[in-house]
Chain A
C-alpha cells in the first residue's frame, strides 16, 4: 500500500514554485489509491435527473471500479444500488439506460424491486434455506449516499461525507448560473459520445480547466473559423470563438475549494449564445452581475474528481471514468434547457459538434495534447510538471471582487485563465484526501 511519505513527495508545494511529479499519471499503486480514497471514498457525479424521468427508468455507470445504477422509483424518489446481484454477483442491468418494473438477474432469476429488496428467489421452496424468509437476507447493496443538486445527481459509496451542498461549496454558484437559464429545468439531449483517452484521468481534469493551452492548441480552430468567416462572410459565432482563442479577453481561473475548478472567458459576441434570447427574462429576474456571469462569460466547471459542466455557446456534461493509470473513458453529453426553441437548440448542437467531440475540430486536438503529456510523463529522468504560472497574482476568498457579485467566495483565484494557480488547489486536495486514506 502507498505510504504517506511517498504521496507527500508527489507534490512540490513551496513559495515561488508549484510542481507535481510526472509519475502521478503512470503509477499503478497510486491509481488504486485514487480509486479507493477519491472515487470510491467520497462524492462523485453520477447522472442527470432527466436521464431517469419515468418510474423504472434506470441509468447504469461506475463509481471508481464499482458498477452501480440509479433508478427512478414509483414515488418519484431515486434509489441507487451496486449493480451486482446479491446472490452471486452478476451485473443486473444489461443496458446503460432502460426501464424496468423489477430487476431480474439473468443468471439464476432472482428479482429485486426498485428499493433493492429481493422479491423473488427462483425455487425458494426447494432451496433448503435456513428458517425464515431468505429473501430478507439478500437486498442489493445501496449506494451509501445519493443527493441531487438542481438536477445533477451525486453519489458516495462512503456514508461519512458532508451534505452535498456543503461539499460543493462555492462551486454551486456556477451550477446555478447554468440551471437558472432553464426555468423548466435542464435536460440531457439524446445522443452521446465516449472517447477512450490514452492518458491519465487527471490530465483530462487539468485540460478542461486549462485556459493557457487555448491559444496554442485551438489556434488552428480559430484560424479555421476565421477562414470560414472570410469565405462565407459569416458573422457571429465565429467571432466569439476566434476572439476567445486569441486570448485578448477578460478571463479568470478558480479553485473553489474541495478540488473543484473553474475557468471563464468573456464572450466577444454573447448574442450568439443560445440562451441570449432569454436575456429580457434574466434581466428581470436576476441582478445585472449575475446576468453578466450567465450570458457574457463562457465557463468550464470541474467538480472533483469526475465531471465537467461546461456552459459556453454550447453546453456539456463530461464525465471521467478512469480504467487504468493510462486509460480514461470520457463521455460527453449536451445539457440544455427544457423547452428551448428549436433554432436555439440546433445552434447549440452544431457548436457542440464543431468543437467538443473527438470527431470535432478542437477536442480531438485537446486529447492529442494531453496524451502527449502522458507519453512525456514516461521520461522519468525529467521528473516535474510545473504549475507556477500566476503564482504572484493569487487572491483568496473575499479578495475576489468579481465573484462577490454572485456570492462566490473561492479558496483561490486569479483574474486570468492563462494562470495555473487553480491546480494548486486541485493537487493540495488530491494529496490531502490520499494522505487521509493511506497507511502511515
Chain B
C-alpha cells in the first residue's frame, strides 16, 4: 500500500476491508474478525433519543453498545465462546449485506468512510431484518488497513431478540 493513496484506491481498499468484515461475522470467525481492529478501536452504537435523532454524547448519554478498546470486543467474543450465554445458544445465522460505500476523507494516516447495511438473521425468533449505517475510521499502517473506529446507527427499535456485535 503506497503512502499516497488516491480516492479510488482508498475506496477499493475500504470496500475490501468492510466486505471482509461482513463475511467473517457471517462465518462466525471471531478471532479473524477481531484481528481487523486496532487495539484502541472504538465500537459504538448509539441509542435513539427521539424519532429523528440518536444521542450525541456517547460518554454521558445512553448507548446500545459503546466499547472503547478492542479488549471489550474480546469480552463479547469470550462470552459467546463459553457456550453459556442463554441468548446465544442456539446462535442466530446472519447475512450482512453492505453497500453504498463512500469515502469521505483520505490522508496518509486514515480513511474515513461510510456504508449502508442490512443484516438478516435467522434464529429462535424467526427471520429478522434490521438495517442502518456504518461510519468507519480505518487506520493505515505499512501494508495494513485496520478498523480504528466503527459507529453503527441501527434504525430499528422495539428490538426482538438479542442484538450483539454480529447482528448489526
Residues of A that sit less than 8 Å from B by CB: 95-97, 189-196, 198, 217, 219-221, 223-224, 227-228, 231-232, 329, 333-334, 342, 345-346, 349-350, 352-353, 357-361, 364-369, 371-372
A217 CA to B57 CA, complexed, in Å: 32
Assess whether A95 is in contact with B51, with CB atoms less than 8 Å apart.
yes
Q: Once the chains are docked, how many angstroms separate the CA of A124 from the CA of B98?
A: 55
Q: Which of A223, A228, A353 contacts B64 (CB 8 A)?
A: A353
- Determine whether B131 belongs to the interface, using a CB cutoff of 8 Å to chain A: no
Q: Between A and B, how many residue pairs show CB distances below 8 Å?
A: 121
- Asked whether, in the complex, the Cβ of B62 is within 8 Å of the Cβ of A191, the reply is yes
Q: Cβ of B29 < 8 Å from any Cβ of A?
A: no
Per the bound structure, the CA–CA distance linking A334 and B45 in Å amounts to 17
B164 in contact with A364 (CB, 8 Å): yes
User: At the interface, yes or no: B97 with Cβ under 8 Å from chain A?
Assistant: no
The distance in angstroms between the C-alpha atoms of A353 and B161, with both chains bound, is: 16
B51 and A232 contact, CB distance less than 8 A: no
| Contact (Cβ within 8 A) B75 A228 | yes
A191 touches B162 (CB 8 A): no
CB-contacts of B63-98 with A (<8 A):
63-66, 71-72, 74-76, 78-79, 82, 84-88
Q: Quick one: given A193-B62, A228-B71, A361-B79, are A96 and B51 in contact (CB under 8 Å)?
A: yes
Contact, CB under 8 Å: A189 / B87:
no
Contact yes or no, A349 B71, CB < 8 A:
no
Known: A227-B75, A228-B71. A190 touches B159 (CB 8 A): no
A-B contact pairs, 18 of them (CB 8 A): A95-B50, A95-B51, A97-B50, A189-B60, A190-B62, A191-B55, A196-B160, A220-B82, A227-B78, A346-B60, A358-B161, A359-B64, A361-B79, A361-B85, A367-B87, A367-B162, A368-B162, A371-B124
Pairwise interchain contact A359-B49, C-beta atoms closer than 8 A: no
A35 vs B75: C-alpha distance when bound (angstroms): 41
Contact between chains at B84 and A219 (CB < 8 Å): yes
B65 partner residues in chain A, CB cutoff 8 A: 353, 359-360
**B147-168 interface mask toward A, CB cutoff 8 Å, 1 = contact, 0 = none?**
0000000000111111110000
Interface size grouping (class) on chain B = 35 or more
A220 near B85 (CB under 8 angstroms)? Answer: yes
Known: A219-B84, A359-B162. A352 touches B79 (CB 8 A): no
Does B48 sit at the interface, judged by CB under 8 A? yes
Partner of B86, one of A217, A334, A342, A357: A217
Contacts known (A342-B59, A353-B66, A359-B65); A198 close to B160, Cβ less than 8 A = yes
Instruction: Find A195's partner among B71, B72, B88, B159 (CB 8 Å cutoff).
Output: B159
Residues of chain A with a CB closer than 8 A to B61's CB: 189-191, 349
**Chain A residues with Cβ under 8 A from B86's Cβ?**
217, 365-366, 368-369, 372
Contact with B60, one of A224, A345, A358 (Cβ below 8 angstroms): A345
CB-CB < 8 A to B62: which residues of A? Answer: 189-193, 333-334, 349, 352-353
A96 and B64 contacting across the interface, CB-CB below 8 Å: no
A193 touches B60 (CB 8 A): no
B14 is an interface residue with CB less than 8 A from chain A: no
Residues facing A in B30-68 (CB within 8 A) are 45-51, 54-55, 57, 59-66
Closest to B165 in A: A359
Contact A346 B59 (CB under 8 A): yes
Whether A358 lies near B76 (C-beta < 8 A) is: no
Please give me the 10 A-B residue pairs with the lowest Cβ-Cβ distance, nearest first: A191-B62, A364-B162, A191-B47, A368-B87, A220-B84, A364-B87, A191-B55, A365-B86, A368-B86, A359-B64
